Amino acid sequence: MKIAALAGGTGAAKLLRGLARLVDPGDLTIIGNTGDDLDLWGLHVSPDLDTVCYTLAGIVDAIKGWGLGDESFHALDAMQRFGEPTWFNLGDRDLATHLHRTGLLRQGRTLTQVTASVAAGLGVAQRVLPMSNQPVRTGVLGPDGWLDFQEYFVREKAQIAVRAVRYEGAESARPAPGVVEAILEARAVIVCPSNPITSVGPILAVPGIARALGESRATALAISPIVGGEAVSGPAGRLMAACGLPVSAVGVAQVYAPWLDTIVLDQRDAGLAAELAALGVSAVTTDTLMTSPEKEIALARRILDALR
Ligand code: GDP
């Protein structure tokens, strides 16, 4: 079964690791968010693509769910002496990825080519695509003005009130090569349990991607990142509320409603099924908390069963 997966970072990576155990690598294309990419110390950092690749390669930091395991931060300490920003935690071994990416981009390669090179270098067998080769930057309007997503998320620890979210550059971005094709050729599109506003939202904001989702004959299935009225982790709930959405699987389904067929929600949210049906979305309930590798595989298996 050919699958295209829309993916953010940490939530997506856990599900993808489960799916990777059950799906032939050649059948899985991952379309990753680049809305929270940033330039730091002259380097191009793609946090979500890297989280997905590090996780599938089995080298992610198991506790944090991002960055590399067995990491050190000597370069970060040293940069402090030069007054360089040190709020973004770039590890020493992680730096190799960003140096490689930035070097290839400077030689004129596209982010698609560079991402393929990073994935191959790490031994990731699945196809990992950025959503676009043009820059799209997610911005968040806080009390003192617009911040880039990572300034909000990492520097401010997502602790400021948010009034609006924007995807700068999205209007003139194009889907990266292979993205629309993967959606149109898939039997299933899986929207990973990712932040609907800042992980999946930027992907959908690239003109042509939402249209392909509407045109595709694939079954579109999303996993709710909201369980029991709050996000499993991170600011998804607060950001959804700021965008006027209910903080529940219903709010998630509203974002994806034009093309979504099925939503997988946690069993404790089973009471939402009728409201979801009214949106034209069928509900599958199961334990969606991926707190162990076994539970990642179990959720992936439940999803594949529902798709069959
Ligand atoms: P980020 O870029 O690291 O924020 O990555 P994502 O957007 O992919 O993942 C964050 C989202 O995943 C948050 O909204 C969490 O609520 C959700 N999430 C994380 N772990 C789980 C889980 O085990 N189950 C479910 N259902 N959602 C999860």
CA of 232 to the centre of ligand 1 (A): 6
- Interval between CA 213 and ligand 1 midpoint (Å): 22
Gap between the Cα atoms of 102 and 98, Å rounded: 6
Pocket test for ligand 1, best of 154, 192, 199 (most atoms within 8 A of CB): 199
Length of the chain: 308
- Residues 107 and 254 placed together within one structural domain of the fold: yes
Q: What is the pLDDT of residues 214-242, one digit of tens each?
A: 999 999 999 999 999 999 999 999 999 99
> What is the phi/psi pair of residue 104, to 5°?
-65, -40
pLDDT of residue 30: 99
What's the 196 CA to ligand 1 centre distance in angstroms? 10
Which residues constitute the domain of residue 154?
A: 137-170
- Give the distance (Å) from ligand 1 centre to CA of residue 82: 35
Residues 224 and 125 occupy one common structural domain: yes
Choosing from 17, 33, 232, 263 the residue with most ligand 1 atoms within 8 A of its CB, the one to mutate for a pocket test is 232
How large is the average pLDDT for residues 14-20? Answer: 98
How many A from CA of 224 to the centre of ligand 1? Answer: 9
Q: What is the pLDDT of residue 206?
A: 98
What's the confidence (pLDDT) of residue 239?
A: 98
- How much is the pLDDT for 263? 98
Residue 185 and residue 107 share a domain: yes
Residue that is last in its domain, among 121, 154, 170: 170
* Residue that terminates a domain, selected from 170, 188, 222: 170
Instruction: Give residue 79 CA to ligand 1 midpoint distance, Å.
Output: 31
Nearest CA to ligand 1 atom 9: 11
Domains contained in the chain, number: 2
When pLDDT is cut at 50, 70 and 90, the band that residue 65 belongs to is very high
Go through 141-176 and write b for each residue having 16 or more CB atoms within 10 A of its CB, e for each that does not: bbeeeebbbbbbbbeeebebebeebebbbbeebebb
Does 118 lie in the same domain as 11?
yes
Which residues contact ligand 1 via a Cβ below 6 A?
8-12, 14, 48, 192-195, 199, 223-225, 227, 231-234, 236, 288-290
Say yes or no: 145 and 274 in one domain: no
Q: What percent of the chain has pLDDT over 70?
A: 100
Q: Are residues 154 and 175 in the same domain?
A: no
Over residues 183-210, mean pLDDT: 98
Residues 114 and 10 in one domain: yes
Answer yes or no: do 91 and 221 share one domain: yes
Mutate to test the pocket of ligand 1, among 16, 19, 191, 194 (most ligand atoms within 8 A of CB): 194
Q: What is the CATH number of the domain that holds 180?
A: 3.40.50.10680
Question: 141 and 190 in one domain?
Answer: no
Per the CB < 8 A criterion, the answer to whether 45 and 149 are in contact is no
CB of 84 closer than 8 Å to CB of 77 = no
pLDDT average, residue stretch 180-208: 98
Question: For ligand 1, what atom is nearest to the CA of residue 295?
Answer: 23
Structure confidence at residue 178 (pLDDT): 98
Q: Do 80 and 227 have their domain in common?
A: yes
pLDDT digits (tens, 9 = 90+) for 239-293: 999 999 999 999 999 999 999 999 999 999 999 999 999 999 999 999 999 999 9
Q: Whose CA is nearest to atom 7 of ligand 1?
A: 194
Shortest-distance Cα residue to atom 18 of ligand 1: 11
- What predicted TM-score, i.e. pTM, was given to this entire model? 0.98
Q: Among 153, 170, 187, which residue terminates a domain? A: 170
pLDDT single digits (tens) 121-133:
999 999 999 999 9
Whole-number Å distance, alpha carbon 190 to ligand 1 midpoint, is 14
Mean pLDDT, rounded, of the chain = 98
166 and 193 within one domain: no
pLDDT for the residue 84: 97
CA dist., res. 62 & res. 74, Å (int)? 21
Confidence of residue 104 (pLDDT cuts 50, 70, 90): very high
Q: Are residues 210 and 79 in the same domain?
A: yes
Q: Decide: residue 274, CB within 10 A, 0-12 exposed, 13-18 middle, 19+ buried.
A: exposed
